[in-house]
A and B are shown apart, each in its own frame.
Chain A
Amino acid sequence: MNRRLKKFLLLLLAVALLFGAGQMQNALNRERDRLGITLVKPLENAPPVLAFTTVALGGFRGLIANALWMRASDLQEDDKFFEAAQLADWITKLEPHFPQVWVFEAWNMAYNISVKFKDFPDRWRWLQNGIELLRDEGLKYNPNEVLIYRELAWDFQHKVGANLDDANMYYKQQWANEMAEVFGKMKGANFEKLVHPQTPDQTNRAARLREKFKMDPQFMQEVDEQYGPLEWRLPEAHAIYWAARGLKAARENPTKVKPDDLIQLRRVIYQDMLLSFQRGRLEVNPIEKIFEFGPNLDIIPKANEIYETNMAEDEKNRDHIEKAHRNFLRQAIYSLYVNNRLAEAAKWFKYLGEKYPNKPIIDDLPNSLPATVTLDQYAVACIQTDINETSHDRVKTAVEGLLVNYFRSLVMDQDDRATGFWLLARKVLDAYDRQIPQDRKEAIGLPPIAAIAKEIRERLLDPERGLTPEARAVLRTKLNLPAETSPTAPPVPAAPANGPSTNTVPNLPA
């Protein structure tokens, strides 16, 4: 046979065999996966360099990963963090199916490295690096790995959402800004426009959500319907989203999930539902240029439902969840009461009594069973358990705090909430007045609410130490007070020391 022809035929044979092996490989991988006969899953979605490296290095990649891990550890000890992202990338790529490796590297960046920086933007960047490693890379190679979903949710719930890190408000602000680019700066997300975008702007927003944040608008809508309405500019909504994605992945691959891992995801959801109720409303203060949190009271029925579902599904941890549920209900009632949603507060108060009739509802009062306590008594007791009810200073502080909230709510045009704060402040004062001994009234009594309110109001309207000029103007309008005098105007002479005093403040609620 011609030498060249022989070579050509051999080459052809090699190509055919390679093609055949490639076809067989897919089938073999599926079988491996189905029968569960290997610990190492075939690598999917990997770029060619990674696919080649993992195949070519075989078992040796573990050794290289160890060497890189040691280098990363040494560099971290020497405060050389600039290489950490690269080393984490290599280590995880060498062991792409080890969820613990992804989780550790991401946690290290988000928790350990981030706090090494004193500047908040630096910390935020490392936190993002940790989140991105899990979300953009870890889930790409391990789309069904519950542990990675749980860690991602935890980053949002704990690192961004909680207040342990000094930079937590910066994280929240940055996250809200990023989300505002997708959802806009107004409350509520219009998922229909993201699922079926009609305009180039909507298309861009939907693409940004999918490509940058790796989130599916359709699934977000489902999550919002099931658990919401959620405030998607806040981290808690994202913690719920990723935990829900993990639960979905677990449902689709029931054989690959450990039951204990599922409990962790469920726990993330109900904990974040509680947090969403406590501070799941974002109020952008356009005057002060900051944002503030408020309770999301609309979410209470859904949060209650989640607790109930989890209690039913999780026999092993039912006692713990019941305790958490009872605490949630008590907080919900108090928040509704403070926000002047008395009918709802009464409804949930009744529900609490029916659900847990034999459990006291006031801390440190074992006899305060629901049947023996009224809603009013409970609401006042709530604040009094936080303060020492016979402590003059603490009660004064609490009342002042409530009144500051009253005025601030007026500035924010939340009149109902303001009224709630006012009523509560008055009730706390009344309760205090009743409890202190009569002969001690002169010594430890507190001034009437109007006098305290006047003091707070003047403090807030003080041009030097008070609110911003815009906020002061809004507050003056709300209280029907005359406009502020010009700063160049001569100071108003002080009232004579022995002049008449008043306890009434114009235009305050009775």
Chain B
Amino acid sequence: MQKILAIAGLTWKAAFRFRLFLVVATLLLVAVVGLPILIKDDGTARGFTQILLTYTLSTITALLGLSTLWLACGTLARDIEECQMQVVAVKPVARWQIWLGKWLGLLSLNAVLLAVSGASVFGLLQWRATRLPAKEQTVLRREILVARGSLRERSYQTEIESDAERLLAERLKQNPTLADLAPAEKNEVRKQILEQVKAAYQLVPPNYEKKWEIDLGLVKHLLRDEPLQLRIKFNSAAKSPSGTFLGLWQVGVEQNTRLWRSEPMSLAPDTFHEFAIPPNLFDENGLLTITFDNRNDTALLFPLNEGLEVLYHEGGFGLNFARGLGIIFCWMALLAALGLAAASFLSFPVAAFFSLGVLTMALSSGTLANVVSEGTVMGSNSETGKVGHSVIDAVAVPFFRAALSVINLVKNFSPVDALSTGRSITWTELGLAFSQIVLLLGGIIGTIGVLGFNRRELATAQATQ
């Protein structure tokens, strides 16, 4: 361990020698202090805090990410190119220890920089929050500077699928010619029936009600006397002249729980709305019943996955913020492993180019996802729905699918989003991020890096200075 720490110490020295630490620390602090002056918010404390968190944390992630890649490539590749590595390698220290030492050095460097910049953002937010009027502070503490957990209605996927299968079987029985359909066409029929069944669960026709029953589970004990928030979203079958629809909500069950009825709300479709509901509206089993009364002229559709969500206070902002930084730290650990792995068998410029290329591909996952969902890189005709195919697809689509699966292991976590909307980042989420990003991906990349470094013939390197 001592040997690994000694190498980590050398990495720190290199960071200071390149003046990287000072430059990055200064840039980070300038970004944290300067951004609030430059950015324009929507005019509310809530909007300002959201934009501040988004911009500062994104800037910190971008700056640290790029500097980590650069330093990871530089510290190993340049050491080899400048023949300093030959001096280290002849010492009684294994190659894997050198590699790991450098990685730990980079991690500790990132940890310090992330802690300093994170603490500055946190301090700035808290300081600004105390200077706001009491009303604005309440909104901030209730909606943004908080960790809110979320509960949804149980999944109806099993029922939906079995209903769809039953309907499909009935149709086939009624119309035997359907049985002769090609498998792809039969799949299409199944898909359409599935959507019809799903619609029945989501749709609220005019003058009808929709009821959600949400089981609070064990959380009910923590939610006594705690106000909750509903986050809702719906789509409309037709547009209204005002662009909004009447929303009438009831929470609770008559003669069973306390009852709360909303004032008529003017709600726009296709967007999320949040509103608070009073505490203690659930029954003794922790079942919260929410009813929407559709008094509009058109049917409204509440999507199953995001139509209605109950948000509750789960914890404080400080710890949530720390967990968010923890996920960012995991990303940095992966980038450090990537840079070091590239530098293990490539020269500095090529390693830097390669790492940036991989990063760019990861950031273009939207394009990859499009190709995978369309099943071709050739594009499709939006009018006919036909897609072009080529031999490239045979290679590219599976490759993109595999790349996307790997990228999603990293990209599925969005700490900046969660923090700016006051959503909870749980310990489980952080643990999952650590396992997927650091242990799994970092481990694979690290192993490749160590193997490459072990097999690298250091004596062939020519001193550049």
Contact = CB atoms under 8 A, between A and B. Distances in A.
Interface of A: 79-86, 89, 111, 115-118, 120, 122, 125-126, 128-129, 164-167
A164 B266 CA distance: 12
25 contacts: A81-B42, A82-B48, A82-B51, A85-B41, A85-B42, A85-B43, A85-B47, A86-B40, A86-B41, A86-B51, A89-B40, A115-B244, A116-B268, A117-B268, A118-B247, A118-B266, A118-B267, A120-B266, A125-B43, A128-B43, A164-B241, A164-B243, A166-B242, A166-B244, A166-B266
A101 to B, nearest CB: 16
Most chain B CB atoms below 10 A, which of A85, A120, A125:
A85
Contacts of B271: 79, 116
Main secondary structure of the interface of A (DSSP, over half): helix
A236 B111 CA distance: 59
Contacts of A80: 50
A8 B51 CA distance: 48
Interface in B254-268: 265-268
Given A83-B54, A116-B268, A118-B273, A125 B42 contact: yes
Nearest to A113: B42
B242 A129 contact: no
A102 to B, nearest CB: 15
Contacts of B242: 115, 164-166
B208 interface: no
B41 A115 contact: no
Interface of B: 39-44, 46-48, 50-51, 54, 241-244, 247, 265-268, 271-273, 275, 420
Given A82-B47, A118-B265, A118-B273, 4 more contacts: A86-B40, A86-B51, A164-B241, A164-B242
Contacts of B266: 118, 120, 166-167
B414 to A, nearest CB: 11
B243 A115 contact: yes
Nearest to B271: A116
A65 B47 CA distance: 23
Listed from nearest, the 10 A-B pairs whose CB atoms lie closest are A166-B266, A82-B47, A82-B50, A116-B271, A115-B243, A86-B40, A115-B268, A79-B272, A116-B268, A82-B51
A86 B266 CA distance: 26
B191 to A, nearest CB: 24
B51 A83 contact: yes
Contacts of A167: 266
Nearest to B51: A82
Nearest to A83: B51
Given A79-B271, A167-B266, A85 B40 contact: yes
A80 B244 CA distance: 19
Most chain A CB atoms below 10 A, which of B39, B44, B243:
B243
A174 to B, nearest CB: 13
B303 to A, nearest CB: 13
Contacts of A81: 42, 47
Given A82-B47, A165-B242, A118 B275 contact: yes
